Structure 1
Amino acid sequence: PYDEIAAVTGTTLSSVKSLLFRARDNLRKALNEPE
């Protein structure tokens, strides 16, 4: 799946993995913050 994302977005596989890792990390932090 990552290689498909890379092909569609025109970025490298390593970029996709890095961006997804950061996105998940940011989402996790946002969901864990107290209201």
Structure 2
Amino acid sequence: VLNRRCVEAGVLTALALSSHINQVSLFDRKHYFYADLP
């Protein structure tokens, strides 16, 4: 779950720095297997 305030702060920072903001962002969840975990 994304924190709305964090996203807004990131967008405002990007705008203040005249950065390009992508219209679409993709996120992938990574799963790692550790043999020693129960």
Q: TM-score range by the shorter chain?
A: 0.3 to 0.5
- TM-score, with length taken from structure 1: 0.46
Higher relative contact order (CA 8 A, sep 6+): 1
Write 1 or 2 for the structure with the bigger share of helix: 1
- Please tell me whether Structure 1 or Structure 2 has the larger radius of gyration of its CA atoms: 2
